Amino acid sequence: MDWYAEEIANLAQKLRQNPLSPSPVALYGSSSIRLWDNLRDDLENPNVLNLGFGGSTLAACVHFFDQLIPLAEPKSLLVYAGDNDLGDGQSPEFVLDRFHALAEKILRFNPTLPWAFLSIKLSPSRLNLRPQIDRANNSIRLETARHPRASFIDVTSPLLNPAGYPASEYFQPDGLHLSPAGYRRWAETLNQDRHRMLIAPSPDIRQVELSSGQDASGIPQVV
């Protein structure tokens, strides 16, 4: 986990130093979160906190949870991670195990916290992992049903074309990271009424921008 240490330390320092809005909505996870530059505009919510860190695995999200999430004191939490674990050769069973560990961390932190797991996306560069992605998503979907405060949000299907493959316009040229159009598709999904509890607009609350500042553009196969 040493690879992430500096970025985590920078995020934690900014959480301590910057005046946060009360009870932000926190998005936590890999570069698919960290690189969402228009997060607040896309979600029409100024009270959204970006806690993504480059190349994060679900295992890393579990490992660093206690260093970041309690500092943020979120009113709700959305997590995107898992495809880097699969991309690194881990099994869907490993990803499910780390999901269990994350759920335990969340329950210990705040048993009444509303939280959601965003499905692992299928990207053009990882089409070979489709069976593993499907197995991991299906397993986690079933597990979230066991947690009264948890939701499973399908952000994979909105990125597919009618033939069931990732639509190129939703991805960067690397075939892995999302394009602005891809993030808008995610925003449309998250803005559905049934998830309003997670991203309710708070226009009267000012939110300070947090960014790790680390450039992951030179790191291959990182989401």
> Does the residue 11 lie in any domain?
no
Mean pLDDT, residues 136-159: 95
The SS3 call for residue 165 is coil
CA distances from 200 to 7, 42, 76, 79, 196 (A): 28, 13, 10, 17, 5
Residue 199 has a pLDDT of 52
pLDDT band at 18, cuts 50/70/90? Answer: confident
> Is there a domain that residue 32 lies in?
yes
43-59 residue pLDDT tens: 888 889 999 998 899 99
Q: Is residue 133 part of a domain?
A: yes
Residue 165 CB coordination number (10 Å): 13
Region 2-10: what's the mean pLDDT? 87
Give me 104's structure tokens: 């335990």
Domain residues for the domain of 39 are 22-199
Confidence band, pLDDT 50/70/90 cuts, at residue 34:
very high
Please tell me the total count of domains within the chain.
1
Contact present, 118 and 78 (Cβ < 8 Å):
yes
pLDDT tens digits for range 152-183: 999 999 999 999 999 999 999 999 999 999 99
Q: Is residue 1 part of a domain?
A: no
Judging by beta carbons within 10 Å of its beta carbon (0-12, 13-18, 19+), is residue 198 exposed, middle or buried?
A: buried
Contact indicator for 186, 158 with CB cutoff of 8 Å: yes
Q: At a CB cut-off of 8 Å and minimum separation 6, what does 120 contact?
A: 82, 83, 86, 95, 133, 136, 137, 156
What pLDDT was estimated at residue 17? 86
CATH number of 68's domain: 3.40.50.1110
CB proximity list for 52: less than 8 A, separation 6 or greater? 27, 28, 29, 30, 31, 32, 33, 34, 35, 36, 80, 212
| Within-domain flag for 208 | no
Position 207 in a domain: no
CA–centroid distance for 31 within its chain: 8
16: in domain: no
218 located within any domain: no
Amino acid at 166: P
Does the structure show a pLDDT above 90 at 85?
A: yes
